Structure 1
């Protein structure tokens, strides 16, 4: 159970940001340089959590991998290429267990073919933040609550050609972090919004050097939606509007063995925090530490983040205070591989990399899967690889569990 002041609770749950000091490193000339953290934060970040074990064991790749029931999250356009008439999956992810014991994500997704070229997809995502004990500034308990967030979504995918498909998706997002508790004298409320996705998938079987290969390319622009707020007066926060691009290649080694490789890049399409000309002290927090407001004064580098969703989406490509170099740091890279034996047993592995100034998530993933007739069971495990001093990955040792069912003609 977590005890936390109202003010810190609201900020922590809104953004899941973990503050670290500027880190020193040696450049190629042996000179000491400083990396200043400039993480992009949004509301409802649970929308970007990889929900399934297959992608979770392949470094969080998924926009161009072989379609399955969980394609709704990664790229709903892949549904148009599913082989079975119907399928669904159930996933469970214990989250941030390196920090707290009772945060978890539950995910249900599925699809149904409407015709040979059209597929309907559905998803339901529930994120529980565990038991929270609310205290006032004096440390006195004033109540308990279980903050939660959930999203309901559907998609429509259609083949426009033998090798190409498009999809549109929509979801309703609901976030209740405080249960209506007053924070600093301000009444809070649940936040809600509607978001949409646009996705594309290109599947290209090819014969190269007398060997059959399946090439695929994918794109998904997800969570295009209005900003969200938890009070009537607070500034509204962006939701995690996101661009994902990727490719994959797979081949059958022989009648029993098949292997595939995938590569994704990922970028948030929301404004980067600019650099301001001063920091204004706002007093102290419940632990007696000074509270600084970096978002004060004139902007000396970067662009104003208080813009519309559409403006922020386009601005996100050229608004970083560090220029082009910092823009490139905002791109996360994922690579993954998958091996199947006799289409019954799978072994998977991958790697995810995020720049030190943008969150410092760096980890290996691996997992396995067992398939029998219409049933498949998958498992994944995450291993933190960022061993720098002062950097802690709260995702360390994360496990995912997924149960899938695929049905042929029905």
Structure 2
């Protein structure tokens, strides 16, 4: 059967440092950009796909109390499930996401989702906590398909509106992150914690078929082999200071996010006596964070990315102050959650918009460096916050989260001074 899906050629950007193609390499297919209507449809599809897939990383957060009770575990031990899922995602980012610069994107995404479905079904059937942890790692590794789709969105978008389009896709991704906790809580309240993994496994199968039918065909120029592709990632880290700074900065933001949402269920259940359904309803407040993505994208498109990034960090500090000092009031915890999510998600869109301009020919690898750093930090913060809450309560988690954001503010201030000096010299 003839493939009638639209084809997307590679961006024209700086020359890749990888070896030049050999005579046996196929030339990449160049084609006109998708029509505006087609691009809108693809944007919606990519947003939904990212949201549904990334949710797999967060389903466990509000269920840790149920899982701990089922397997007779302590809070810190149960939190390992979140930590290992995020570490698995980081491993997938490092090992699988760069393939977006090497392999045909549609096939890579749809086939990876089949593996995600298998891992989710394994988690649903786990007979003990060890098997559940192993399945969680695989869920994290294979859910990295999200980071194949986001760079694809950047490739599809015209340069003048790239920030806006990526922001819309990120809105879907962020809604998946923020609504995952509510969805898993409500499903678990009616069918137990295992039921969410069955439901998500079915969704992954359906999504795999949909992407295989509807995504545009995009095969990057085959300029290198996988080992050389991986070696070029190290070169990107060495030669792109903006990438290093943005990766560390967003890692601290995401660490604060992971710390807050990993421990909030314990606070709500232990102190405020919430039911599992109540925890899920509370988690809905985080959905407001998705509103930050398109706004941040527009600010970046108009050249205000630097100031907006600083404002996002400051907003995060305000959020933690509210949640920390107002721990005895659910409304203040909710206000802190809303503001923190707005800050973290807006900062991420601004960061990705800036790094995607660095090397248009290597967006998947740039994204690999950025997101691997972010999720390693998130995994570490989840594990630390679980242990802190078990020993020091919500106050310990709040102090830890505030320190992460203060470190990020320091990075922003130091980079701002360097930026001002460069402008003065110019």
TM norm structure 1: 0.28
Greater helix content: 2
Larger Rg: 1
Give the structure, 1 or 2, with the largest relative contact order (CA under 8 Å, sep 6 or more): 2
